[in-house]
Amino acid sequence: MASPDISSLKRDAAPPEPHVVPVRTYVIVFAALLSLAGLTTAVAFVNLGRFNTPIALAIAFVKMMLVLLVFMHLLYSTKLVRVVLFAGFFWLALLVGLVLIDYHSRSWIPDPAPWSSSAPPTHP
């Protein structure tokens, strides 16, 4: 068995310095999160008909992205982490989507006649 190529090992390199996000960024994101929380509460007191829920969910989505990208360092993370997270959301979309399709398409096909109303099976 060939010995591994050790020239590529970073054995002399000093440990990498972590990516430090400036305090300013955290404060700005925090302020944005608080304002969005206030906004979503305020919007609930205004009658926008069918648009209330989509707007609330859109605001929640923006808040989630802010937390994910900055607080959870997704902006600076490896691609592998992003793929793993995307897979999670993809599976969640499958779960919710397929279950909703099931529940809302059940009425499309009329119920078959119950067993009791048909003629009893005859045996030879």
Partner 1 sequence: MRNRRPALSEAYAPVSPVKEQMAHLLAHQFEDLEQQHETDTLGIWVFLVTEIMFFGGMFAAYTIYRSLYPVAFEAGSRALNVRLGAINTMVLLSSSFTMAMAVRSAQTARRKALTLFLVLTMLLGVLFLGIKGIEYHGEYFDRVVPSLNFAPQGEVLQRFTTGGLGRAELFMCFYFFMTGLHALHMIIGLSLLLVVLLRARCGVFSSQYYAPVEVMGLYWHFVDIIWIFLFPLLYLVGGRY
**Interface residues toward partner 1, by CB under 8 A:** 6, 9-18, 20-21, 23, 26-27, 29-30, 33-34, 37-38, 40-41, 43-47, 52-53, 56-57, 59-60, 63-64, 67-68, 70-73, 77-78, 80-81, 84-85, 87-89, 91-92, 95-96, 99-100, 103-104
3-state class (DSSP) for residue 19: coil
Name the residue nearer to partner 1 (CB basis): 39 or 114: 39
Joined tokens for residue 17: 């310095």
Task: Kindly tell me the sign of the dihedral angle through the C-alpha atoms of 93, 98, 103, 104.
Answer: positive
**Dist CA 61 CA 122 (whole Å):** 61
